[in-house]
Every structure is written in structure tokens, then in C-alpha cells.
Amino acid sequence: MAVQRKVFGFIKDCLRRASSIITMKGRSSRFRTLGYKCDRYDGALTEEEVKHITLNPVPEGSTNVPWRKYALLLSFNGYGYFGMQKNSFGCGYPTIEEELLSAMLSASLITEEEYQVPQLFSFQRTSRTDKNVSAARMLVSGNFNAPPLEVKEAINKRLSSQIRVMAVYRVTKGFNCKLRCDARSYSYLCPTFAFAPCTEVMNANYRMSWEVLQGLREILWMYKGTHNFHNFTIGIDPGERRAKRVILDIDCDPPFERYGWEWIRIRMRGQSFLLHQIRKMMAVAMAVSQGLTNLDFLAAAFSQEFVALPKAPALGLVLEDQHFYQYNRKFTLEGEQEALNWDAVEEEIQKFCTESIYASIMHREMQENSMLGWLVSLHFHTYQTDHSKEAVKNYSNMNRVRYIYWKELRGPRGNGTKNNDSGGT
């Protein structure tokens, strides 16, 4: 053992003289030095193993950049992707995270092992997203040994045009973007005819009246505050603590016209959201606004009882922003770290959102009529809290009558691909 320690100590001294600094990358399987690298061995070295240690010079021009924790601000159009998080179903189900990690691997920012297990370089995302959901501002974090500007440029070169790294921020060593996020803001963009009373024709010619707009706002305001959202997601019992969610603010912008259709954007801010929560919130708001049910049904959805709720299409859902109030207050006021705000790149973000997210949502809605097709199923939904067989039968018959009446009012439906006005009829 004494011989082993002397030999190993001699090698370390040689490396120290050559580079002056010996740093170890904790998540990989090798020591890193300024000029040399050697295989890492966590146990004791035998004389035979010491004889086979090789020192390979690093190519000239390389630099010893220390490993730092960075937060990457992403903007992406989620159409065609199966959510943000990487899944294990294979390459037939592309995700935003999978393409992002592939770009990092291609840029040699991470290793193959880290691509397979992102936790090895402390990778973390602030939020998950559903299929086809976009994000204007999404933060991810991880450890890198390259300057921030190089990280941004190297990744963007290898990403598709639907995904962009807008900025890279230096953060504290123990920063976890998911835990540090205090609130998240979402928006839902859709045609105004989604909230039209069922006695009116739902097509591209529909224009929302002031009375309908005010009624919609009153419906949305009922979501504000702390409620039990176990009916707005899946796999959560009403008695679980995680079923309680806080909606800090919710409202809708005034309707606006674009491409011959009238649109409305609903904005909401909350501490965190459950799977499918916002889509079910929007679906219930549409049902109440159309007159298919009333506010008592919404109040019952917050109760401990099970209530089946419809789920609106994901196309118009956008993660708008993520807020780090406490982190900015604690670390940036003292000058330790830069603030996690996006003022410096806000113009670039707005341009990407306008051209790649909002315009894409509108064009696809006009071409595919996904909202109008889903609204048909909304008329078949059973809006009841009494789950007896007789109640289910009565509600089903009533909704069939409503659907037949609505179908006669709307008239024949066009394909929506050639003429915008006929797309929503």
C-alpha cells in the first residue's frame, strides 16, 4: 500500500506541475486537467494498473473553463411534439426536451451518458407541457463548461426553427428552476365562437357581444383563488394536498380580428398547474358560456365528489411566462447573480411568438377546424353531478336534443381549407 501511495502521489505531483490546477468533473468518468487527462479510478491502484496509466495531451487551443450552473430560456412552437418532457416510447414520439438534449450532445456540451440520464448534469425543467402545447418563455437548467454565449449559439445551430434558446443566465450552484419558480402564466387562444351561446350560429362570421364577454369574465373569475382541482386532472384523489391549487389571476383580453376571424386570448397566472387542468378549465367555461350548463356545475366541480369534465383542444394553450420573485429578491439585490428576467431579449421573444406561435395556432385552427370539431362533442357531454343510471340517461337525451337543435342552426359545414368564412360553418 505504501508503494501504491508513493507512485500515485508522484503522478499527481507531475500533473500539478503541468497544469497548476486539477479539477474533477463529478459526473463523468475521468479527471480533467489543463493539459492532460487520465482515467479515473475510485479504488486503490495496484502496481500493474499504475504501469498502464496513459497521459494523453489535449489538443492545442483548448481551455479549462470551469463547470457552471446555467439557466436556459427557451421559446418553442410545440405543434407536432408530444410535450416538453423526454419519454421512453422511442423516436416515433418526438419531444422538445429530446431535441434539446440531442442538440447539446451534438455540440459536445454533454456526453452520451448525460443524454441518456440528464440528471447526471443536473438538468431540470420548470414545467411540463401537453402534446402540441407551445411556450413563449420556458426555463431549463444544467451544468456546462462553456461560456453562456457559446452555449446559446452552439445549441441554436442544431435546433429546428420551432425551438430557440433566447438567453443563458448564470445561476447559483444549487439552483433548481422547478423549485425556484414561484408562479407560471398561461394563455389560451381560440376563436370567439367557442363561447357563443348555443342559439347563435358558430362560424367565422360570429362576433362576440359585450354581454357575452362580460358573462365570460364572470365565469373565469370563479376560478380565482384556492380550489380543489381533482376533477380537472387525472390520478388524484379529492383528499390529496396536491389537488389544491391557487389561481392568482385570470381574465381575458378584448376580442380582436385576424385573418378574417375573431379571436380571444384568456390569460391566467397560478403557482402551479396540474395535468390537463387548464384545458378542462377552458372547456367548462365554454360549456357555461354556451348555456349547456350553469355555474352550479362549475361549483360542483370544485367539490369532493367526482364530476366528469370535458377537455378543450391543446392547440391554443401557451406557457407565457415563469416568475422567480423570491430568487431575484434574494440573490440579485445583493449583486450575487443576474436577475432572471427577460427584458434584454423581450423584443426577440415577442417576434418569435408572433411569427412562430400565435400565427401558427390561428392558421392551423382555420385549416383543421379542430375547435369546431371538438365543440360538437361538447354538446354530447353529460353535465351532471348525480351519477345514478336514470340521471345519466336523462342528461344524455337532453344533450342530444341540444346538439340536433344546434346542428340545424349552424347549417352545412365546409371543409375550411379553401375559404376561411366557410371553415367555421
Tell the residue number behind the cell numbers 345514478, with chain if given. Answer: 388
Q: Can you read off the three cell numbers belonging to residue 352?
A: 418569435
In terms of DSSP bridges, do strands 317-323 and 134-144 run parallel, antiparallel, or are they unpaired?
A: parallel
Whether 42 is a known active-site residue: answer: no
13, 39, 130, 251: the active-site residue: 130
Q: Can you read off the three cell numbers belonging to residue 173?
A: 450552484
Q: Can you read off the three cell numbers belonging to residue 99?
A: 431535441
Q: Tell me which residues are annotated as active site.
A: 130
